[in-house]
Structure 1
Amino acid sequence: MLHEESLVSGVSKVELYAAIRRDAHRGMSQRALTQKYNVGQKTVKQALANAWPSPRKPYPKRGSKIDDHSSWIDEVLRNDLTAPRKQRHTVTRLFDRLVKEQGMSGVSYDTLRRYVATRKPQILREAGRSPSDAFVPQTHLPAMEAEVDFGDVHVKLRGELTKLTLFCLRLSYSGKAAHRIAATGGQEAFFEGHTHAFRVLGGIPVGKIRYDNLKSAVDQVIGFSRLREEAERWTAFRSHYGFDAFYCQPGIQGAHEKGGVEGQIGWYRRNHLVPLPEVDSIAELNAMIDAWDVEDEQRRIGSRPHTIGEYFAIEQPHLASLPEDHFETGRWFNPRVDRYAQVSVRMNKYSVPAHLIGRQCYASEIVSGLTGEYPARERRA
């Protein structure tokens, strides 16, 4: 409590300012305020100007003997940015060189260590590098996000070891994933993987789907950024199904941005494709994969309290509805029939009736590259 004679010891400056401002509002003059609170006119003026006291000015920084060597130390730290990782300067090595080569004296090892700990991250930032990566656990709302990726797998197809491509679309909230095997990772397999996944899930994520730089979707990465020049058919495909694409950072910097699907593909290989499946066709293998996807709904991811299926039951009603019309995932070609009564489609030869030699035809339509069946059907132009 403030008395009229003087300021009681222990009263903070904020309380003093509040008391001065209160009495000033009641009509007390500045001279009366200085006498009542035993303070100078400058203090009274400051209190009337602002209810919050101005911060105390910091004392000027004291010089250090290490300042004489700071430019040399900074240069060494900059050179270390391009040196082999295991052959860069430690603080001990820096200290030894400063003593021997620069004649440093009167500077302790701890002083140098503190300087390097402060200056090294600053030099990294000046060079456009991050001194350390901070990670925040991701949280996802139902039906808002999904992740897509391809992965290589090996199977015994008709008794022969064959390398195939595994497509995976994984919902980020529930962890429910749909998989599909294809002979290659071409654009048709990319589109077919999506349409199959949407049918299995019974809907489409209403937010975004995360991708890396798959050639099936991206024609060109613009700079070292998230900007992409999309393939025209991919843009039309996204427009048809009504979802947005989120492109992860190129290289190792973006690996964590869709870590869910990358971890899913590794888990799937280890748990369902070991030992190597022996099948007669890709269609047979995909039937097995469909059954495994249903079984996987019973497992828990990490320390989650509920199963994938239980989370998916919450998420599924929030997915967007599938469009009524079908998007043609195949490609149409119109090659010319050569003298051997064959047409060439993507470096593969297909026979057609001999009377079409020399004429241009609509190409044989590879109906299902995902099932391994390749029926041919041609029409005259």
Structure 2
Amino acid sequence: MPRISKVELFAAIRRDSRAGMSGRAIATKYRVSRHTVSDALTSAWPRERKPLPPRPSVLDPFKDLIDDILRADLDAPRKQRHTAKRIFDRLIDEHGMQAVSYQVVRGYVAERKPKIRAEAGRGPVNVFLPQTHRPGEEAEVDFGEVVINLRGEPVTCMLFSLRLSFSGKAVHRIFASGGTEAFLEGHVHAFTTLGGVPTGKIRYDNLKAAVAQVLGFSRQRVETARWTAFRSHYGIEAFYCQPGIQGAHEKGGVEGQIGWFRRNHLVPVPQVASLEQLNALVDKWDAADDSRRIGTRPHTIGEHFAVEQPQLAPLPDEAFETGTWLTPRVDRFSQVTVRTNRYSVPVRLVGRQVRVQLHASDLVVYDGRNPVARHERLMAKSRSRLDLDHYLEALLRKPGALPGATALEQARAAGKFTPVHDAWWEAVRRVHGDAAGTRALIEVLLLHRHMPHDHVVAGLATAVRAGALTADAVALEARKFAETDDHRAPDGPTMRHPAGNVVSLTERRLAQLPPDRRPLPTVTAYDQLLRHRRTIEGTGS
């Protein structure tokens, strides 16, 4: 007979009994006792089994002692309360406990400690209460660490997230750091993407970008001046969570959102060439997430956001400047120091004071009102980022400093100084010498200031093939590639000569001349002079 549940067994017994079968026959048919048949005829539901008495434990003689210690800890200083290891040691030293493992004591302490707190009226340790959020009112903000592969090197960046509490719509941005500039730029990007500002509270950690000082155990904070101005500009009402792990539960929505985003979009580790490229992907991921449902919600994030978006407060008419202005002085290495890192500027500014506008991922150097340098912000400390173009005027006077220049090594690593540059430089030095050849290379590098990088590289490749070892020849070939691009089809692809199909300068010039139909020169007419010379030699005259 196939195995059936006890409810089904009781139903079968009751059915056979109503059909007139005796109790003995039913017990024989189903191979059960007469007591089971009696129970089935009494109730259609089987009676619950009586719980087994608890098994004795070797810890039973010491449980009351452990409870007394835990009750005494309720009034002890927070940093001088018993750990499970300390209780275990005391039971052995003071009460002669034997044959009880530490794991048994630790398990009992973990089970009894919250119960004793509740019995004493101290309340449970963790209580989570469901919350209801109105459309357009509340949001949460936080940063989370992420690792990316930037130009082949793993680096740690900061993921900014602003999440609307009603719809769950979240906007993300990845920055080189989590400083003030990233904090403000993340808000501007989020508000612009959402098309408005929450009208109620936005929950925050006690970030240094916003909070200068936490006043005791209250909710009062001393805010930074820039954050106060930013809040006033956008009309933000900030709510600061409790410090430590307890505060994380007060904005659990954005905490969980960062983890979800990291697991679903940044695994495996993305490989990108720049943060701009990565953030373009982040924007696409945010848009795609609108079709996702959170938990058991009947509608998607996008559908909830369509209801919430009209309830947001409008954006202010004027933009808020999120960058930080600094005024460093250019040192003798033609560099400025910004937040422990050094960045190059043109050599003509050595000794002068310049203005630097620092953003989350880049910085711009100004000489008066004119921008003179732009750099990607360094992520580590005590590093340098040098642009070879800033040193070209000085290298014209000191060409011997170029081979070992740090700026040259960084240009090679960034792909700006290509193997084609090296090949032309080596060829020109063999012909004209080190100093003159290096000066010729610097003149070629100056072409990058007013010609596209690809055109100059293509001109160098042509010059190397043709043996043209002057900067003027490289400029001529680069302009020809530029003219080819200018005369491409209106909607067609760019027609560029590949570097592998170059021809010599002479062939290029001859190809542009009209065909020469004159006969080839010959020396046949001069053969008579050879015969005349033999005749004279034969006569002895």
TM-score band by shorter chain is: 0.5 to 0.7
Contact 2:139–2:162 at 8 Å: present in 1 too?
Answer: yes
Contact 2:204–2:238 at 8 Å: present in 1 too?
Answer: yes
Query: In the TM superposition, what is the alpha-carbon distance from 1:340 to its structure 2 partner?
Result: 2.6
Contact 1:165–1:183 at 8 Å: present in 2 too?
Answer: yes
Which residue in the other structure is 1:259 paired with? Answer: 252
- Indicate the structure with greater helix content: 2
**Deviating more after overlay: 249-258 vs 163-172:** 249-258
Contact 1:147–1:170 at 8 Å: present in 2 too?
Answer: yes
Which AA in structure 2 matches 1:84? T
In 2, Cα distance between equivalents of 1:184 and 1:311: 32
Correspondence for 1:179 among 172, 176, 192: 172
Q: TM-score, normalised by structure 2?
A: 0.48
Query: In the TM superposition, what is the alpha-carbon distance from 1:256 to its structure 2 partner?
Result: 1.0
In 2, Cα distance between equivalents of 1:294 and 1:237: 27
Count of equivalent residues: 280
Correspondence for 1:334 among 309, 327, 331: 327
Correspondence for 1:191 among 165, 184, 191: 184
Query: In the TM superposition, what is the alpha-carbon distance from 1:216 to its structure 2 partner?
Result: 1.1
Which residue in the other structure is 2:71 paired with? Answer: 77
Correspondence for 1:377 among 332, 345, 366: 366
Percent pairwise identity: 59
Bigger radius of gyration among the two? 2
Q: CA offsets per residue over residues 4-30 of structure 1, 9 Å max, x none?
A: xxxxxxxxxxxxxxxxxxxxxxxxxxx
Q: Secondary structure at the match of 1:206?
A: coil
Q: CA offsets per residue over residues 261-282 of structure 1, 9 Å max, x none?
A: 0000000011001111111110
Matched, 1:156 2:155: no
Bigger RCO of structures 1 and 2 (CA < 8 A, at least 6 apart): 1
Which residue in the other structure is 1:8 paired with? Answer: none
Contact 1:342–1:351 at 8 Å: present in 2 too?
Answer: yes
Contact 2:209–2:224 at 8 Å: present in 1 too?
Answer: yes
Q: CA offsets per residue over residues 1-55 of structure 1, 9 Å max, x none?
A: xxxxxxxxxxxxxxxxxxxxxxxxxxxxxxxxxxxxxxxxxxxxxxxxxxxxxxx
Which residue in the other structure is 1:317 paired with? Answer: 310
In 2, Cα distance between equivalents of 1:170 and 1:182: 17
Contact 2:171–2:190 at 8 Å: present in 1 too?
Answer: yes
Which AA in structure 1 matches 2:367? E
Contact 2:354–2:366 at 8 Å: present in 1 too?
Answer: no
Contact 2:138–2:201 at 8 Å: present in 1 too?
Answer: yes
Which residue in the other structure is 2:449 paired with? Answer: none
Q: CA offsets per residue over residues 180-238 of structure 1, 9 Å max, x none?
A: 01011111011000000001100000001000111111112111332211111001101
Contact 2:138–2:164 at 8 Å: present in 1 too?
Answer: yes
Query: In the TM superposition, what is the alpha-carbon distance from 1:136 to its structure 2 partner?
Result: 1.1
Which AA in structure 2 matches 1:176? K
Correspondence for 1:217 among 205, 210, 232: 210
In 2, Cα distance between equivalents of 1:377 and 1:117: 61
Q: Secondary structure at the match of 2:145?
A: strand
Contact 1:360–1:380 at 8 Å: present in 2 too?
Answer: no
Which residue in the other structure is 1:5 paired with? Answer: none
Structure 1, unmatched stretches of 5+, are 1-72, 98-115
Q: 1:320 to 1:160 in 2, by over 3 A?
A: same
In 1, Cα distance between equivalents of 2:191 and 2:118: 46
Which residue in the other structure is 1:144 paired with? Answer: 137
Which residue in the other structure is 2:158 paired with? Answer: 165
Q: 1:218 to 1:87 in 2, by over 3 A?
A: same
Q: TM-score, normalised by structure 1?
A: 0.67
Contact 2:114–2:124 at 8 Å: present in 1 too?
Answer: no
Query: In the TM superposition, what is the alpha-carbon distance from 1:361 to its structure 2 partner?
Result: 2.4
Query: In the TM superposition, what is the alpha-carbon distance from 1:359 to its structure 2 partner?
Result: 3.2
Q: What is the aligned-residue RMSD (CA, Å)?
A: 2.9
Query: In the TM superposition, what is the alpha-carbon distance from 1:158 to its structure 2 partner?
Result: 1.0
